Amino acid sequence: MNHKPLIFITNDDGVRAKGLQKLIETVRPLGRIVAVAPEEGQSGMSHAITMTRPLYLKKVTEQEGLTIYGCNGTPVDCVKIAFDYLLQNGETPDLVLSGINHGANSAVNVLYSGTMGAAIEGSFYNIPSIGFSLLDHDEDADFGTVQQYILPIVRKAMTENLGRPLCLNVNVPNLPAEQIRGIMPCRQNRGYWREVFERRQDPRGHDYYWLCGYFENTEPEATDTDEWALKNGYVSVVPIQVDLTNYEQLGQLKELKFE
Amino acid sequence: MNHKPLIFITNDDGVRAKGLQKLIETVRPLGRIVAVAPEEGQSGMSHAITMTRPLYLKKVTEQEGLTIYGCNGTPVDCVKIAFDYLLQNGETPDLVLSGINHGANSAVNVLYSGTMGAAIEGSFYNIPSIGFSLLDHDEDADFGTVQQYILPIVRKAMTENLGRPLCLNVNVPNLPAEQIRGIMPCRQNRGYWREVFERRQDPRGHDYYWLCGYFENTEPEATDTDEWALKNGYVSVVPIQVDLTNYEQLGQLKELKFE
């Protein structure tokens, strides 16, 4: 019997990403680690699951207390396949971590993010689940600052009675550690991406389009949002739920007579 | 100048799916239609966007008041590329419809669903957006019953002052029309999918896994949810929002001292 906590880790930048390595390195002293991460980058894959082809698992690392697999699926697939396997063997992870993402997952990005898709999926098992993201897309980004905030947040998620499901969306500004002003629990900023596709022609004369765009913050003055926190040097922590019901509109709909 | 409403339509079962054709057929009398739908089935693609390859558009139908394109992206990509194109030409759709999906999108499935991913994306433009799903996976399903409910719901969404963004998740039981008891506005049922992967061996001796599973309804007695509505012969209508903040947990987090 092994009573060290079992920590499940995944990401959306792929099994070889530096952010994944740094996350594993940071929490390794806390327990045994099983990681299943996509073989290829899966940014923007949201909560997608793979239904039309089968999944393969490939063990890429096996050390004392650390096993890492690559999987040809999405981040959510990685969570599902790992949990199916672990639970069949009578093991339930004590913690689910996703990241460290290379790039922000604040505001409505929580919806597009593969990192957060995986963290949300983990929370469906009533296990504390946390997605970590650094506001730096660089493949070789410096994760030193994020690493300092991982353990304090993980410990709170595991020890405080915050109810279940529990899923935290943590974003860290791309700043030297000494310029970070602290951890700020906050709400998801409102606002949306507006598209600007870039049109090009392929060598055979067909138009093709690259998805680009910009984020339109529809409440730039609000000071209790993740966008504000990050712009002002705080680590943002947004607790995430998945009841998408708009209760105000539900009340209005109940008053309507549908002919 | 053409003052007929502009209706944008997409789906996740692909541009050739019967459900898409039936949706177009039903709302065609209401206005001009532009449809952009995935070339291939995109079930389970959630809110995924395509970031690592460019998108192509292929016109598949052009008739008076109806243009249909196939796109090699996800349902959300289809919304984004259509809006970019339409808005550049000074056109804003008056309505966004997604479906009719072959299969249910009730409860937490709203999160995995490509149909609902597209409808949610449409609502980001403050345009009434509705996803329609029929509880029948059959490729040749009978959409006659759904079709009777589309126009009453569309009219309410377009004429009532329900606020913006407005996104409705509509599911229709697989029943003859005379057995449907009416339209029921309701909330998203709680509960989650539990995985049961099916393991097989490929001809080269490698294990592979098919994603299967079952839905665990964690509140089977609740009578105000979409699951209950559908089991009891109602058309379920859940208004959808995308603020994923769990405000109760946010309050608790604010009380914590992160060391």
Mutate one of A46, A69, A164 to test the B interface: name it (highest B CB count within 10 A): A46
How near does any CA of chain B get to the CA of A65, in Å? Answer: 24
pLDDT at B252 over 90: yes
Q: How far is A90 from chain B (nearest CA, A)?
A: 14
Average pLDDT over residues A188-200: 90
In a domain, B206, yes or no: no
Long-range Cβ pairs for the range B143-149 (8 Å, 24+)? B143/B18, B143/B19, B143/B22, B143/B100, B144/B177, B145/B172, B145/B173, B145/B175, B145/B176, B145/B177, B145/B180, B146/B22, B146/B100, B146/B172, B147/B22, B147/B25, B147/B26, B148/B177, B149/B180, B149/B183, B149/B235
CA distances from B29 to A39, A140, B4 (A): 47, 55, 10
Are the beta carbons of A110 and B47 closer than 8 angstroms?
A: no
Tokens 């607790």 correspond to A239
Q: Does B211 touch chain A (CB under 8 A)?
A: yes
Q: Quick check: A246 and B241 CB within 8 A?
A: yes
Residue-wise pLDDT tens digits, B69-109: 999 999 999 999 999 888 788 889 999 999 999 999 999 99
Secondary structure (DSSP) of B160-188 = S---SS-EEEEEE-SS-GGG--EEEE-BP
Element (H, E) at A63: strand A57-63
Residue A257 in any domain: the answer is: no
The CATH number of whichever domain residue A29 belongs to comes to 3.40.1210.10
Structure tokens at A134: 């650094």
Candidate from B117, B190, B250 with C-beta closest to A239: B250
Residue B78 C-alpha, separation from nearest chain A C-alpha, in angstroms = 11
Is A197 within 8 Å of B156 when comparing Cβ atoms? no
Structure tokens at B167: 């996104």
- Mean pLDDT (chain A, rounded): 94
C-alpha to C-alpha distance for A77 and A73, rounded to whole angstroms: 6
Residue B4, burial from CB neighbour count under 10 angstroms (0-12, 13-18, 19+): exposed
Does residue A242 register a pLDDT over 70?
Answer: yes
B256 in contact with A, Cβ within 8 Å: yes
Phi-psi label, residue B205: left if phi above 0, alpha if psi -120 to 50, beta otherwise: left
Please indicate whether residue A84 or residue A27 has the higher confidence score (pLDDT): A27
ipTM: 0.92
pLDDT at A2: 55
Where b means 16+ CB within 10 Å and e means fewer, A23-39 reads bbebbeebbbbbbbbbb
Q: Mean of the pLDDT values across residues B46-54? A: 93
pLDDT digits (tens, 9 = 90+) for B193-224: 988 889 999 999 999 999 988 899 999 999 99
Cβ contact B153–A49 (<8 Å): no
DSSP per-residue string spanning B196-207: -PEEEE-TTS-E
Indicate if the pLDDT at residue B184 is higher than 80: yes
B101 annotated as ligand-binding? yes
CB contacts < 8 A, A to B, total 220
Most A CBs within 10 A among B111, B137, B166, hence the mutation to make, goes to B111
Q: Which of B85, B187, B195, B210 to probe by mutation at the A interface, max A CB count within 10 Å? A: B195
Structure-block tokens of residue B215: 């839905």
Contact between A209 and B256 using a beta-carbon 8 Å cutoff: no
- Token couple for A240: 């995430």
Cα–Cα distance for residue pair B226/B133, rounded to 1 Å? 12
B107, two tokens: 């409860």
- Among A177-186, B25-34, B198-207, the range scoring the smallest mean pLDDT is B198-207
Residues of A with Cβ-Cβ distance to B51 under 8 angstroms: 43-44, 211
The minimal CB distance from B258 to the residues A153, A206, A213 is found for A153
CB-nearest partner of B43 from A51, A206, A258: A51
- Establish whether B43 is an annotated binding residue: yes
Residue bearing tokens 């984004």: B80
Whether the predicted pLDDT of A180 surpasses 60: yes
What is the mean predicted confidence (pLDDT) over B136-151? 96
B213 and A80 within 8 Å at the Cβ level: the answer is yes
Say what the pLDDT of residue A195 is.
Answer: 82
Query: What's the Cα-to-Cα distance from A143 to each of A43, A135, A148, rounded to whole Å?
Result: 18, 10, 9
Yes or no, beta carbons of A259 and B152 under 8 Å apart: yes
Q: Which helix (H) or strand (E) holds A35?
A: strand A32-38
Q: Compute and round to an integer the Cα radius of gyration of chain B.
A: 19
Query: Is residue B210 in some structural domain?
Result: no
Compute the distance between CA of residue B250 and CA of residue A257 in angstroms, rounded to an integer: 36
pLDDT band at B181 (very low <50, low <70, confident <90, very high): very high
Close Cβ partners of B243 (under 8 Å, ≥ 6 residues apart): A187, A188, A190
Helices (H), B89-163: 109-112, 114-123, 144-159
Phi/psi of residue B201, nearest 5 degrees: -120, 135
The shortest C-alpha distance from A156 to chain B (Å) reads 7
Q: Classify residue B83: in a domain, yes or no.
A: yes
Contact A24/A11 with Cβ under 8 angstroms?
A: no
Q: Rounded to a whole number, what is the distance in Å from the CA of A250 to chain B's nearest CA?
A: 6
B197 touches chain A (CB under 8 A): yes
In this predicted structure, the answer to whether residue B37 has a pLDDT above a threshold of 80 is yes
Q: Nearest-CA neighbor of A43 among A122, A114, A106?
A: A114
- Measured from the Cβ of residue B91, the count of other Cβ atoms closer than 10 Å reads 15
Confidence of residue A194 (pLDDT cuts 50, 70, 90): confident
Element of type H or E holding A185: strand A182-185
Nearest to B46 among A48, A125, A209 (CB): A48
Interface of A with B in 1-40 (CB under 8 A): none
Q: Do B112 and A49 touch (CB under 8 A)?
A: yes
Contact: B162, A254; criterion CB under 8 Å: no
Query: What span, in angstroms and rounded, lies between the C-alpha atoms of B172 and A248?
Result: 23
Per-residue pLDDT at B2? 55
What is the structure's pLDDT at A1?
Answer: 45
Q: Do the Cβ atoms of A54 and B81 come within 8 Å?
A: no
Strands of chain B (E only): list them: 6-10, 32-38, 57-63, 66-71, 95-102, 129-134, 167-172, 182-185, 191-195, 198-201, 207-210, 213-217, 234-239
Number of domains in chain B: 1
Task: Determine, yes or no, domain membership for A208.
Answer: no
Determine the structural domain holding residue B249 and report its residue range.
6-190+221-255
Q: Shortest CB distance from B163 goes to which of A76, A195, A249?
A: A249
Task: Spell out which residues of chain B touch residue A162, defining contact as CB-CB under 8 Å.
Answer: 249, 252-253
| C-alpha distance across the termini of chain B, in Å | 63
Give the pair of three-digit tokens for residue A45. Answer: 């894959």
Q: Which of A98-107, A146-155, B136-145, B250-259 has the lowest mean pLDDT?
A: B250-259
Chain A residues 82-141 with CB within 8 Å of chain B: 83-85, 108, 110-112, 117, 120, 124-125
Instruction: Compute the mean pLDDT over every residue in chain B, rounded to the nearest whole number.
Output: 94
Type and span of the H or E element at B90: none
Domain membership flag for residue B136:
yes
Residue A251 belongs to some domain of the structure: no
Indicate whether B101 belongs to any domain. yes
**Closest partner residue to A240 among B52, B81, B244, by Cβ?**
B244
